[in-house]
Structure 1
């Protein structure tokens, strides 16, 4: 039997029993390497937690009284500060578990075999899916409506490319949306057409909106199920938090309700869709369930993605000289929103992938910061604005990240996937400044690591490996893929722990294993700091702890309902 709690701990336990509060616990963790993330004291033998807070980190010999505290034996697993995915889409992660997942399809044929099987198993309604990417396919082309029609005749089918910046629609879907040879693409979008001027079925960036109305709106119950699935998957991977990019404004109350009901197993930091900007500016930052769900940022889009040639470049694409990509917004629309964000204390995160897209956002940030002096900002100089992806930069553009400054929110797995097509899209010269993690870190820039799941798998082990190896999962790097842009392992650890904490204004309580901080931990079955590089992507989370509560343990069903 566990002994009675002292009075102070009993009061804390009663407070934590209030709906919406985290279920914090006491624990002593030992039995494996412990990496604190603190440069001065990078390792420890034991960690003692009381009421969900770290009270001791260090050598076994210095351990204070811990009578009756439950012990977690790592059994050789390696413990780290809780890993946070600094850029992902929680709704898409959950939806991937509930819709047609084409991730990993090795060819057009394989993708269509999956579609055919799904159509048979789901004979009614539209077919919605995502995850295909053509860059490895032997056919060497995008999917087309003809492909979809052959696999699922007569059905409305919408299959999103992995990056989320293009969708292929079946002929039935095109007809239902009224898209034909005469349809003009909206600004910031493209309707691909064949040599006869007929739509191929591929709709890029803003053109995706033309078929959005064909997707039945989910019920609240379905959305709740989707988020439950996302939480369960991410806790199992070892993530203790997620920066939810493009969080639908209408879903914020649902997420807050789930947190209050104890259904949010990991932390959520919401960067909401622009339709919620004015309401968020009016309310200011929101936090519920002892900070389990925090909403204090707006996500904007400047351009598209490199794979679908929507990233905005200064010079034409090397493999398609007729285009320089697609801007999704201009300064006249963006800067007033940025200025309003500054005056309300709301963070801005803007998607920019191409060099022109990144330069435009930096210019707009500078314009807004000049227009709204620090004295008129709740956060003063400390605004912590972000560029999401920052994939293709001109090296002379690094200065924006230093001078303004700007947080670079980057996804290492993009580089190990894009290495198979980015040289063709960009040409060799523009690879200087591409996925430039090391160059930015060397300049003192905060580089937040993320996965962009469901664009990528969302596995922290793969992301860590990509950051330190800069090779694909087979070990391939390709000719001159700028290997010097890989980072050392402590930097990679900070990219997924301390720096996401900073980017969400929580570095005082998250991101390292130190006394006084919240007890968020991730343990992997191999030691990411010492294991051979090739073994890193195979690491598996064995323990995920949030606020001192075990939310995932390998071999046990600790996921929330």
Structure 2
């Protein structure tokens, strides 16, 4: 059967019995079968068990395939990801020259059209510098060009976009097309504002189709005035309501009124106030806020965009409105600010009230033991990106360059979070790193610092159930395969593993699958088939 797009899916029969597979269930060891009735799993059993009676189900022979909970990516930027999937993605370009050649090819494919892209990282190029506005114009012609750095906190823009956005007149203009902070926000806002609505919707559909093919059944969209627009978030949530595909939980890092309006719109699902609310920036752009200065810029500590009073007020407003909130904090000084604000809110409302709200910290990469303990007491969820360590961690890589050996080794302390009882939710921050859930599981279990690693089982839980917990949507059992839970799962071809280690695969299908890159055969969300090649 050819793969199905989320917007062209077959109607799922009401009762489906999947059998002769490896089913990853916390309640049934060595499970080989599960019965789905509509949107719910009604039974899980072994080869010797008999399914419950009732109307005759449609039977599907799994032929040894593995069934797991579907993945959740807990931090994405959908429009930017969709544009990168079909546009200028410079992530793997080996040199500056290759990047400019790729831009030139894109310009020839779309003559006269604006070009938006992402993924460049000058530290990976032999030239050790970003492109200039003049080089962009030479490669693409006199059109708007916006190319975000891999971390999303710096960009290089063309001469025409610089003029239209007036970015050179804002703080953060570094010259020759390079911009960050307010200048970057001006450039990005102008570039994205001019995208036709149809282009944004096409980008969203592209991402949801791609995610479903990777076994992802839910996405957390991090919107905000500095990264997208309220219309962009509203359109995405409406699309997710009206068209089949992965569920979308939206977060708005702008004004409370917009978040409340979106949350009140029928069928748009949960909406958070905050999420990717920038308390600091990124290490790559030297804008993450640090207690001690940067190793490669000894007089610079990064930048804070909010103080503790701001954090306190946002938490109080969100909690009073019944909304979840969250904060982007990469550096330890940024995390100090977030925690100080949360403690001030807890002093007014009580720690139990704050903990029950399950607020979030996005990234939380440079966290010390005292901060991790505070996060646990406050019930905070850490939305983390293991691919960051896989890409930037270790000797002679970006984190060591920016922070030195000792601090770099302490980045992304997954094991310490888990030991303290902080809920982890794995994510990609796509397009900063690609949608790749199995890659995230592998990276969390193979952190460059062995002391920071978590088990494959814990990493998988963080990539599945952790995402539902992070969206305050796990009360119905989402994220695990048990009787009575929503029928949200993915089916995987793991036969290369099973041939060599069949007994181990039967005992622990997730651990066996994580050793390879399993091929997704079907993705199901509450009984609805999102993707199918079974």
TM-score, normalising length from structure 2?
0.87
Deviation, structure 1 residue 191: 2.8
Name the structure with the higher helix share.
Answer: 2
How far, CA to CA, are the matches of 1:274 and 1:179 in structure 2?
A: 21
Q: Which of 235, 238, 259 is 1:254 aligned to?
A: 235
Q: Does 1:173 align with 2:161?
A: yes
Query: 1:301 aligns to what SS in structure 2?
Result: coil
Aligned residue pairs total 500
Query: 2:57 aligns to what?
Result: 69
How far, CA to CA, are the matches of 2:127 and 2:13 in structure 1?
A: 53
Are residues 177 and 85 of structure 1, via their aligned partners in 2, closer, same or farther at CA, if it must alter by over 3 Å?
closer
How far, CA to CA, are the matches of 1:315 and 1:364 in structure 2?
A: 21
Q: Which of 7, 24, 34 is 2:23 aligned to?
A: 34
Query: 1:416 aligns to what?
Result: 390
Q: How does 1:145-544 map to 2 (within 5 A)?
A: 145-178=133-166, 183=169, 185=171, 190-192=172-174, 199-212=175-188, 214-215=190-191, 216-246=193-223, 248-261=229-242, 263-275=243-255, 277-281=256-260, 285-286=263-264, 289=267, 293-299=269-275, 300-373=277-350, 381-419=355-393, 420-470=397-447, 481-509=448-476, 510-526=478-494, 529-531=510-512, 535-536=515-516, 538-544=517-523
Deviation, structure 1 residue 336: 1.8
Deviation, structure 1 residue 546: 0.8
Deviation, structure 1 residue 42: 5.2
Q: 44-53 vs 239-248, which deviates more? A: 239-248
Q: Which of 23, 36, 42 is 1:55 aligned to?
A: 42
How far, CA to CA, are the matches of 2:532 and 2:18 in structure 1?
A: 14
Are residues 448 and 115 of structure 1, via their aligned partners in 2, closer, same or farther at CA, if it must alter by over 3 Å?
same
Are residues 42 and 344 of structure 1, via their aligned partners in 2, closer, same or farther at CA, if it must alter by over 3 Å?
farther
Query: 1:7 aligns to what?
Result: none
Aligned-residue Cα RMSD (Å) equals 2.5
Deviation, structure 1 residue 52: 1.2
Contact kept, 8 Å, 1:288 with 1:294, in 2: the verdict is: no
Deviation, structure 1 residue 356: 0.6
Contact kept, 8 Å, 2:315 with 2:342, in 1: the verdict is: yes
How far, CA to CA, are the matches of 2:105 and 2:309 in structure 1?
A: 47
Query: 2:112 aligns to what?
Result: 124
Q: 151-160 vs 411-420, which deviates more? A: 151-160
**Could you give the per-residue CA deviations for residues 138-164 of structure 1, whole angstroms, max 9, x where no partner exists?**
222333324323323443321111221
How far, CA to CA, are the matches of 1:152 and 1:91 in structure 2?
A: 22
How far, CA to CA, are the matches of 1:179 and 1:286 in structure 2?
A: 35
Query: 1:458 aligns to what SS in structure 2?
Result: coil
Contact kept, 8 Å, 1:255 with 1:293, in 2: the verdict is: no
How far, CA to CA, are the matches of 2:523 and 2:310 in structure 1?
A: 42
Deviation, structure 1 residue 24: 7.6
Query: 1:442 aligns to what SS in structure 2?
Result: helix
TM-score, normalising length from structure 1?
0.83
Are residues 255 and 156 of structure 1, via their aligned partners in 2, closer, same or farther at CA, if it must alter by over 3 Å?
closer
Are residues 280 and 146 of structure 1, via their aligned partners in 2, closer, same or farther at CA, if it must alter by over 3 Å?
closer
Contact kept, 8 Å, 1:27 with 1:548, in 2: the verdict is: no
Are residues 280 and 156 of structure 1, via their aligned partners in 2, closer, same or farther at CA, if it must alter by over 3 Å?
closer
Structure 1 gaps of 5+ residues are 1-21, 193-198, 471-480, 556-561
Query: 1:254 aligns to what SS in structure 2?
Result: helix
Query: 1:490 aligns to what SS in structure 2?
Result: helix
How far, CA to CA, are the matches of 1:381 and 1:430 in structure 2?
A: 29
Q: Does 1:102 align with 2:98?
A: no
